[in-house]
Structure 1
Amino acid sequence: MLPSSLRTVLRWTAPLLLAAASFHAAAQAGTTLRIGFQKSASLLTYQKSNGSLEKRLAPLGVAVKWVEFPAGPQLLEGLNVGAIDVGFVGEAPPIFAQAAGARFVYIGFDPAAPEAEAIVVPKDSAVKSVADLKGRKVALNKGSNVHYLLVKALEKQGLKLTDIQPVYLPPADARAAFERGAVDAWVIWDPFLAAVEKQSGARLLQDGRGLVNNYAYYLAERGFAEKSPQVIQALFDDTQTQAIALKANLKAAAAVIAPLQGLEPDVVEKSLSRYQFGVKPLTAQVAAEQQKIADTFHGLGLIPKAIRVADALPTGAKVANAAR
């Protein structure tokens, strides 16, 4: 049975409670839920593979369309231009997107997974600590969750982004640059992290533990969130059910996911072990942590203006004041 906390998702949009009370009245026959995902989002990849969400939404007359993106920033662009209705990304992309004027709302989050992102170097690298990165080339996907990890890791050593040479590349290009020695380090998330550790012997320099939370967020186009609470609830119900099944048997889930991600099952299993799954409504604490990231990026000049995370929360969300 779905945890009671997840049933509160509908309460975030208080003006829609009367409509939500009537399941059939709000069913949107003939519509399509367009989900933006990345292959690295293992749970969504698992859901896509088994068709569980399609079966759950069929009684509402809602079809499902899966739209793949290489990383979070590109997914947010898709959400902003109306190519998708719902997406799943890390901490940083929503902040960059909100600063650029994107129209979306946070509708849920997954638990912290600080071990699922890290700074890695080649196994024979002379770099032994984050401090040794000074003046060196570091690859990362600009505006992704690892952007914040790099900032915090450097900060802990008394360094700034200007003390290194950031090389902004999407995961596939970054992996190629890393393996041919064009960059000295790579900041990346799972399952790409697990893959490069196993396949290239990459050495972990620093993961997120003690530095970042590495939450992941479910986002929706604001109009869709306001008009389709039942569809969002069905998505979350299915996500929770599939998360329980996945965690109950990581090996079996990895065997399903691996060929879809183009990875070996043991790599995927390692990646899955470092993630926590189970979508929940935003809490005041999580919203406040997201605001800290936004303030940090603004202070560093990474986003052009200060933003209020509260402005991207659903109408009536009780955590709004906690996020300024």
Structure 2
Amino acid sequence: MIGFYSTRVLEAVRAGNDDEARQNHEKAAPFAAEMDRLEGKPWRELTAALPPLLLARLEANLAELDADAVEATKALATALAVPPASLEPAWSKAVALPKAGDPLADTAVAMVLARTPRGSRAGLAAMRNEVTRAEYAAFASATGRPAARCRNRLTPISIKKRTWDDPGFNQSGNHPVLCVSYDDAQAYAQWLSRRSGKDYRLPTLAEWRPLADYRGSGNACQDGRIGCAGVEGTVNAAQGPLSPIGLAGTRGNAREWVSDCTRGCQRRLAAGVGWRDGPNRANPTQSNDFDAGTGFDDIGFRLVRSVPAGELGKR
């Protein structure tokens, strides 16, 4: 009976069926204990075969930087009474896996890891702050890109002329750039990609929404730069409460362009909340569509890029 269950345990481990491996191990252990056969041949063979099987699996999990798989393998090892010492050094290496919120080195801008790689799926890094006026000014100077027409998105007609370097209120170079169209944001991403050798892009709405999570008091006026006190304009792009992974500006200051589109992609979505949004419009996951070639005085952007597991393995 012990031999039967031991064989089933090994087959389940090799097949990746963790629940079945646990169940058969639980059935085998009482028989072995009751019959005083813990030192018997079938049990010895099982306890000798499990460590190399689980060590190979744990090393494969680490090679893919798959934190979820690592935790599953360690949990299975514990359930099967495999000593951690028999899985070294992989067991100890698991604590050094990259995690969301880790800063990335050797990038053109300050980026943090927003989503870790999982198997063949790449991770995702996001700019810590929205693109600033100073950063956009460097792009505009280098490329000669003309300023897009800009308007107040809450009024049908804008008489006051606005541009990214004069949005109608005072800004410094470390404020988020506004009055840039979706097309401008795309052009900036392409320029930065050429300069850095990394593939920067606007996030999709599905990628952006998890970034909008934040730590705060629940008071929309206190936690974000939104239109609560009737004061126009933005603040430093790094100011305000940070999200759990360390992103600034996800709760106010500027709405942000994302890559999703409507109406044959003549209109693009901008997500989140900006300084023109009052408390009744402070839902950080909201999105609306706008003309792709027009800038608005409360819409900016931040970029993301994919992060393959191999890049994190070289940190």
TM-score normalised by the chain length of structure 2: 0.25
When Rg is computed on C-alpha atoms for both structures, the one with the higher figure is: 2
Greater fraction strand? 1
Greater fraction helix? 1
TM-score normalised by the chain length of structure 1: 0.25
